A and B are shown apart, each in its own frame.
Chain A
Amino acid sequence: MSQSHKDILKLEGVSKFYRTRGNRYRRGGGTVVALSRVNLSLRPGEIFGLVGESGSGKTTAGRLVVRLEEPDEGRITLDGVDITHLKGGGLRDYRRKVQMVFQDPYQSLNPQMTIADAVAEPLITNKVGDPADRLERVLGVLDTAGLSPAEDFIYRFPHQLSGGQRQRVAIARAIVLEPSLLVADEPTSMLDASYSAQIFEILQGVRDQMGATIIFITHSMAAARYLCDRIAVIYHGHLVEQGPAEAVINSPSHPYTKALIDATPKFGRCEGVPTYGTYLPAPRPAGEQAGCPFFQRCALAERLLCSATYPEWRQVAGEQVCLCHFAAEGGQSPPPPEECRLGG
């Protein structure tokens, strides 16, 4: 926290609730907590991974950052400027700096728009350059996104491209304004594995060449390990562990992180390697609860302590912090054998 003045993006105590509407028969609506008091800070030029299972709130976090939605509590700042409740012109200026790549490339491009129009759209809405200027930038950015020769792609419609090509178009569209922050929401979950590696390389290139900070949202520990500098693990709207990608994945400390790693398929020589076994197959509780959010599904939980008291952040090693009553400095698990580690 000491170098907080250098952080590009900060989320402070950000919560987001969704109200479910009641109807005539099921009186009254409930509240679903999508994010609960999340604190995050991103350093300029890093690739930050947000890892969690389906419905853990990781996409919500991304949508809050690009302000597709407004948080119910807390504050989001970019370069020290509060953007939590920006509207109108301020929001438009903000969106010049923050762009997003969506999960499904089959859905995130307008089927009636040519590639040239789709990629140029951010330039047009932000009144950048004249048509010739914009075309040049579109061609350049398509090239950066690995679609070359770019001239062959600009007259096509999305349905004439493959999934991987569409996702490259979506990335090109997101980086055409040269944003300082890019949110990539599971950009590879709809693609073949062979495309994923290429998309990762493009994202790395965006970081290295444009100096953009990237929030990489994923459910895959291996992808996070491969691409990210730091990662945060999110469960049911709560951050539970945060730290350098290498440390969090090779020597996880939170039971949930361990469960996620257990859930990753392992092959070959690693079949005999013991798992952490921290996961209890129990249903995920629907509402908010007083104690640890992972309590019902945690094999290590002690009923009295964990069900009643919300855990505190504890430092495990260096920058690795963990939200668990049982985490202790140096208490992280030893790394598995070299050949069985995730990623590469």
Chain B
Amino acid sequence: MSVQQATLQSLKAGRRALWRQRLAENWRVFRGNLLGKIGLSLLVMFGLMAGLSYIPPLIDPMYHPMTGVDPLVVKSTGPSLTHWLGTDFMGRDILSQLLAGARVAFMVGVSAAFMSVVLGTAVGMTAGYLGKTTDTLLMRLADMIMVLPTLLVVLMLAALFGQLSIWMIVLMIALFRWPGVSRVIRAQTLSLKQRPFIDAARVAGASHTRIIFRHIMPNVLPLAFLYMTFRVTSAIVIEAGLAFLGFGDPGTVSWGMMLQWVWKTGHMFTAPYWLLPPGICISLITLSFYMLGRAMDEVLDPRLRDETQAG
């Protein structure tokens, strides 16, 4: 028995080693990708910004991005020693707003993308695996949602129900952005379902649940994960758009919100220190998620790899 237990232990250890080896291999491919490296470094930078956003309010309450007002400042001022990026129209620190905006962008982007990918994957796998009427119903629903212009519909909903909280916006984005994911996952499920290893699993006595979760899901998850990085981009852009148009959550400081304040208070052409940082940040964070996605694409699909690096 102890010999058996020992072998079992070594099997577990071997399995862990195998996963480490796999991760290392994927990391090697990822590192060979310039876009991926740039994207990841930018994201690390934004991640640091988000982390640092908790510090300014601790130094002095006047650095609180929402409520902190510098009593010595009555109008928007340019960069100075006390306010590295300047202040907005009522004397709030732009740098601390920018840092808080990074936190909101990550929160909105990742959670909306995660929700829409979970929903899309579940729907796609169900439709693809069950087929027939279920497939038709779910996919027609997906088509209907897909043709709705997300921003416009969310705008109308915001106009109907008044100001939406940030989590309502996240939920809305997730609910409108899953169909793209579900179509891709469904197509992948359909092709996987025809592969002989599914037949082999059936012959081995696997139940439908086991086939879905042990055989199909591990094979679609990399794809779902890839789509998540692209969905983050679109979620951030939609949130920024909403906030800029004045339908964001008034209780949070997002980059879109900062742009709205610049525009609303007429500083569009007079305060570049206020206009540029959030604009650049929105562009860079979406770009970096996109670059990360492209690099992941290459990690997951060996056909996209540079031939000279193969082997």
Q: Do A and B bind each other?
A: yes
Measured CB to CB, the residues of A under 8 A from B are 63, 66, 68, 92, 95-96, 98-100, 102-104, 107-114, 116, 121-122, 125-126, 131-133, 135-136, 139, 151, 154-157, 170, 173-174
The verdict on A107 contacting B196 (CB below 8 Å), with A135-B7, A139-B7 known, is: yes
- Within 214-260 of B, Cβ neighbours of A (below 8 Å) are at 214-215, 218-219
Which of B1, B204, B210, B218: most chain A Cβ within 10 A? Answer: B204
Interface of B is mostly: helix
Closest Cβ of chain A to B302, distance in Å, is 10
Give chain B's interface residue range (CB within 8 Å of chain A): 20 to 34
Chain B residues whose C-beta falls within 8 Å of the C-beta of A136 in the assembled complex: 4, 7
In-complex Cβ contact of A125 among B1, B7, B15, B207 (8 A): B207
- B31 at interface, CB cutoff 8 A: no
The residue in chain B whose Cβ has the minimal distance to the Cβ of A138 is: B11
A-B contact pairs, 9 of them (CB 8 A): A95-B205, A108-B196, A116-B11, A121-B206, A122-B205, A132-B4, A133-B4, A135-B11, A155-B14
Chain A residues near B11 (CB-CB < 8 A): 116, 135, 154-155
Which residues of chain A are within 8 angstroms of B199 by Cβ–Cβ distance? 63, 68, 102, 108
A107 partner, pick from B4, B195, B202, B215, beta carbons under 8 A = B195
Cβ of B289 to closest chain A Cβ, rounded Å: 26
- Nearest residue (CB) in A for B219 is A112
Contact in complex: A109, B8 (CB < 8 Å):
no
Q: How far is B197's CA from A170's CA once the two chains are assembled, in angstroms?
A: 10
Bound-complex Cα distance A135 to B215 (A): 20
* Cβ–Cβ contact B205 & A109, under 8 A: no
Query: When the two chains form their complex, are residues B15 and A114 in contact, meaning their CB atoms are under 8 A apart?
Result: yes
Contact between chains at A155 and B206 (CB < 8 Å) = no
Instruction: Point out the residues of chain A lying under 8 angstroms from B168, CB to CB.
Output: none
A96 near B200 with CB under 8 A, answer no
Residues of B within 8 A of A122 (CB): 204-205
Contact in complex: B8, A135 (CB < 8 Å): yes
List, in ascending order, chain B residues with CB within 8 A of A121's CB. 201, 204, 206, 214
0/1 string, B178-214, CB within 8 A of A gives 1: 0000000000000000011101111111110010001
Closest A-B pairs by Cβ, 10 of them: A155-B14, A125-B205, A112-B218, A132-B4, A122-B204, A107-B196, A108-B196, A110-B197, A95-B205, A108-B200
A132 touches B1 (CB 8 A): yes
Asked if B200 and A155 sit within 8 Å, CB to CB, the answer is no
Q: Does B52 contact A (CB under 8 A)?
A: no
One digit per residue, 1 when the CB lies within 8 angstroms of any chain A CB and 0 when it does not, for chain B 1-33 equals 100110110110011011000000000000000
Cβ-defined contact, A100 with B205, below 8 A: no
Whether the pair B200, A173 counts as a contact (CB closer than 8 A) is yes
Contact present for B197 and A107 (CB under 8 Å):
yes
A110 touches which of B7, B17, B18, B215 (Cβ 8 Å): B215
A125 B219 Cβ-Cβ under 8 A: no
Q: Within the complex, what minimum Cβ distance (angstroms) separates B185 from chain A?
A: 15
By beta carbon, the residue of chain B nearest A173 is B204
A110→B192 CA distance, assembly (Å): 10
Q: How far is the CB of A342 from chain B (nearest CB, A)?
A: 29
Q: How far apart are B283's CB and chain A's nearest CB, in angstroms?
A: 37
Residues of A with C-beta under 8 A to B17 = 155
| Chain B residues, CB < 8 A from A63 | 199
Docked-complex contact B4 and A135, CB < 8 angstroms? yes
**A residues in contact with B218, CB < 8 Å:** 110, 112-113
Whether the Cβ atoms of B15 and A111 lie closer than 8 Å is no
Hey, which chain B residues are within 8 Å of A126, CB to CB? 205
Q: Using A109-B200, A110-B214, A170-B200 as known contacts, list a sample of 12 further A-B pairs with CB atoms less than 8 Å apart, ordered by residue number in A.
A: A95-B205, A96-B205, A99-B203, A103-B196, A107-B197, A110-B197, A111-B219, A112-B219, A113-B215, A132-B4, A155-B15, A155-B17
Q: Give the residues in chain A near B1, CB-CB below 8 Å.
A: 132
A98 cross-chain contacts in B, Cβ below 8 A: 203
Q: Which residues of A contact B200 (CB under 8 A)?
A: 100, 102, 108-109, 170, 173
CB distance from B61 to the nearest CB of A (A): 52
- Give Cα A121–Cα B200 distance, bound, in whole angstroms: 10
B201 touches which of A110, A139, A151 (Cβ 8 Å): A110
- Residues on B with C-beta less than 8 A from A107 are 195-197
How distant is the Cα of A116 from the Cα of B207 in the complex, in angstroms? 19
B1, B11, B18, B206 — most chain A CB neighbours (10 Å): B11
In the complex, chain A residues whose CB is within 8 Å of the CB of B205: 92, 95-96, 122, 125-126
B204 touches A95 (CB 8 A): yes
Task: Specify which chain A residues have a CB less than 8 angstroms from the CB of B203 in the assembled complex.
Answer: 66, 68, 95, 98-100, 174
Residue of B nearest to A139 (CB): B7
Q: Nearest CB to that of A133 among chain B residues?
A: B4
Chain B residues with CB below 8 A from A99, complex form: 203-204
Complex Cα distance, B222 from A112, in Å, reads 11
Q: How far is the CB of B2 from chain A (nearest CB, A)?
A: 10
Q: Within the assembled complex, what's the spacing in Å between the Cα atoms of A66 and B199?
A: 10
Q: For residue B15, which residues in chain A have a CB less than 8 angstroms away from its CB?
A: 114, 116, 155
A residues in contact with B197, CB < 8 Å = 107-111
Q: Which partner residue on chain B sits nearest A125 by CB separation? A: B205
